[in-house]
Amino acid sequence: MNKYIAYCRKSTDEKEKQVLSIESQIAEMKDFATKEKLHIVCFMTESKTAKVPGRPVFEKMIKMIENGEANGILSWHPDRLARNSVDGGKIIYLLDTGKILDLKFPTFWFESTPQGKFMLSIAFGQSKYYVDNLSENVKRGNRQKLRKGILPNKAPFGYFNEPRLRTIEIDPLKSRVVIKAFELFAKGESSIIDIARFFQKFGITRYNGKAIHIDTVKKVLTNKFYIGIINFSGETYEGTHKLFITPKLFEEVQSILKSREHPKYNKHNFTYLGIAKCAECGCAITAEIKHKCYPHTRGNVDYIYYRCTKKKDNCSQNYLRQELYEQQLRAIINKCSLPDSWVNLWLERLNLEEAEEKTSNSNHDKIFLNDIQTIDQKLDRLLEGYLDQIIDPQIYQQKKNELVEAKIKLKEKITSISKNGSEWLGLMREFIEMAASAAKIARAKNNGEKLSFFAKKVGSDYLINNRHLDCHYKIGFEALATEAGVASAIPDNSKNPFLWACMDSDHGLPTYKIGALTN
């Protein structure tokens, strides 16, 4: 009597469907075995695709047959046994060598004859053809979606897949959570773990309810899908989905992520580390806590000192108390503040400039549209060269990605100009607002984190020499700091020569159109 192994397989990874499908196969095969009076050695079940070799339960079954523990297989259909040429070949080879004497299928006839083996090989071939054809159909569908600017995968956080329209739409609730997460991180005060906890608090979690992994958070914060760029299989495509993250906010987040690529270990989280260097030897400035005891008055008191790490040479620089460090930072920031009376005048002038620029936006739009048309022509020529096998696939992908990203940036500029005017207007407005708030930040108490952040905005190349802190003011703030002494002595009025020099269209505002204003 032949001894059969009943093999059941389901390829899906959804547990509920696996159990139902395998249970139904077992029930059907039990009925078939009873009807045909087959001796079943054991039932073996597996939830794994047969598209590629390497199924552990299938391999175990083959070893049992090779060891003589069974000499027949009962399965629902040949495609349950194999959908690839390797596993199908194993079954036919075991038939040829006599290790397998019989195969039984409730839905397929088989007899161990040359004709039967031939029909079995055709069945295996049809199963492989079905899988291969299905894969090609999926790839073709994905390519068509990408041509339409639709991501063929699961929608990122803040979006959802619309099954009726087969599009990706904005989730009204989760999109607000994602926006807030980007804004929190852009402030520079939150870590990746903080953002993961923030997501968990508002319902964006893993399937088990736990906070999403930090790598997932990084993927969210760096996903160009949020600014209309789709990266799929190494190629870049222009998305047609609606956006809720502005390019400016996205770039701010990327800048912070880049600055944290090599984080420095800061055990005590000293507020002003990373701002200045030693003027004598160029080494970094570190900090440490000194403890002092006043037994009759204040008890134990901690003092924070900043000093040169002295890693290069024998540096002669002394310690600098945090209080003195902070005091000098406040003086540097206060020096580049803008008087309140000037703020309104500068904003009025800026509004006039903005109104004049809006009248010429149509000309800019035409230029950008012409550039976009040129890029489209280059993309067409690039595709023709690729299809004619003149251009190497790697070069094609690289050039295509560059052109698509350039096209998207041009479209972003058109949108930005239509909404906010030219880029320099936004930079200038931000500069005025920062300069207007400089004095308030310099005078406020217990705002060390904000003070440190603002110091990096107004200046760079901070150096400490003989306990004195100095820096190079950035463009715009340099002019304010230079004139600080004069401005403080001259009454604020519309005839102030420095004011009109800075506002003069030939010498002032165009100078401040430089992107370094707020970099």
CB of 454 closer than 8 Å to CB of 330: no
User: Dihedrals φ, ψ of 111, to 5°?
Assistant: -140, 135
**Reported confidence tier of residue 178, pLDDT bands at 50, 70, 90:** very high
- Fold equal for 3-142 and 159-259: no
Average pLDDT over residues 329-350: 84
**Reported confidence tier of residue 426, pLDDT bands at 50, 70, 90:** confident
Q: Are strands 72-75 and 276-278 parallel, antiparallel or unpaired?
A: unpaired
User: How many Cα atoms occupy the beta-carbon half-sphere of 180 within 13 Å?
Assistant: 15
| Whole-number pLDDT of residue 12 | 60
- 59-118, pLDDT tens digit by residue? 999 999 999 999 999 998 888 888 888 888 999 999 999 999 989 998 888 888 888 888
- Cβ neighbours of residue 489 under 8 Å, at least 6 residues apart? none
| Whole-number pLDDT of residue 85 | 85
**Reported confidence tier of residue 464, pLDDT bands at 50, 70, 90:** very high
* Identity of residue 428: M
Residue 468, CA distances (Å) to 277, 412, 449, 462, 479 in order: 12, 45, 21, 10, 22
- The residue with greater pLDDT, 55 or 128, is 55
| Whole-number pLDDT of residue 262 | 59
Q: How far apart are CA 27 and CA 268, in angstroms?
A: 65
Q: How far is CA 74 from the centre of its chain?
A: 49
Residue 274 three-state SS: coil
| Whole-number pLDDT of residue 513 | 36
Q: Which of 17-21, 330-334, 482-486, 505-509 has the lowest average pLDDT?
A: 505-509
Residue 479 three-state SS: helix
Two tokens, residue 222: 């760096």
Residue 24 three-state SS: helix
- The residue with greater pLDDT, 463 or 301, is 463
Provide the 10 A C-beta neighbour count for residue 433. Answer: 12
Start-to-end Cα distance in the chain: 84
CB of 449 closer than 8 Å to CB of 189: yes
Average pLDDT over residues 17-36: 78
DSSP 8-state code for residue 318:
P
- Cβ neighbours of residue 75 under 8 Å, at least 6 residues apart? 6, 7, 8, 9, 29, 81, 103, 104, 105
- 372-382, pLDDT tens digit by residue? 889 888 888 88
CB of 442 closer than 8 Å to CB of 333: yes
CB of 293 closer than 8 Å to CB of 299: yes
Q: Is the pLDDT of residue 492 over 70?
A: no
Residue 420: name the closest of 347, 358, 353 by CA.
Answer: 358
- The residue with greater pLDDT, 5 or 383, is 5
Helices 192-201, 214-222: axis angle to 10 degrees equals 90
| Whole-number pLDDT of residue 419 | 61
- 389-419, pLDDT tens digit by residue? 788 888 888 888 888 888 888 887 777 766 6
| Whole-number pLDDT of residue 4 | 92
- The residue with greater pLDDT, 20 or 360, is 360
Residue entry with tokens 């060598």: 97
User: How many Cα atoms occupy the beta-carbon half-sphere of 519 within 13 Å?
Assistant: 8
CB of 431 closer than 8 Å to CB of 243: no
Q: Which of 177-191, 310-324, 423-437 has the lowest average pLDDT?
A: 423-437
| Whole-number pLDDT of residue 420 | 55
- The residue with greater pLDDT, 352 or 363, is 352
Domain residue spans of the chain:
3-142, 159-259, 333-519
Q: Which of 68-72, 320-324, 339-343 has the lowest average pLDDT?
A: 339-343
CB of 285 closer than 8 Å to CB of 307: yes
* CATH for the stretch 159-259: 3.90.1750.20
| Whole-number pLDDT of residue 456 | 87
| Ranges of H-type helices in 37-75 | 56-66
User: Dihedrals φ, ψ of 115, to 5°?
Assistant: -65, -40
Provide the 10 A C-beta neighbour count for residue 319. Answer: 15
Q: Is the pLDDT of residue 299 over 70?
A: yes
DSSP 209-264: SSBPPHHHHHHHHH-GGGGTEEEETTEEEE--S---S-HHHHHHHHHHHHHTSSPP
Provide the 10 A C-beta neighbour count for residue 456. Answer: 14
Range among 14-18, 33-37, 130-134 with highest mean pLDDT value: 33-37
CATH C-level class of 3-142: alpha beta
Residue 251, CA distances (Å) to 34, 222, 255, 426 in order: 68, 9, 6, 15
Q: Is the pLDDT of residue 455 over 80?
A: yes
Q: Which of 27-36, 213-222, 351-360, 436-445 has the lowest average pLDDT?
A: 351-360
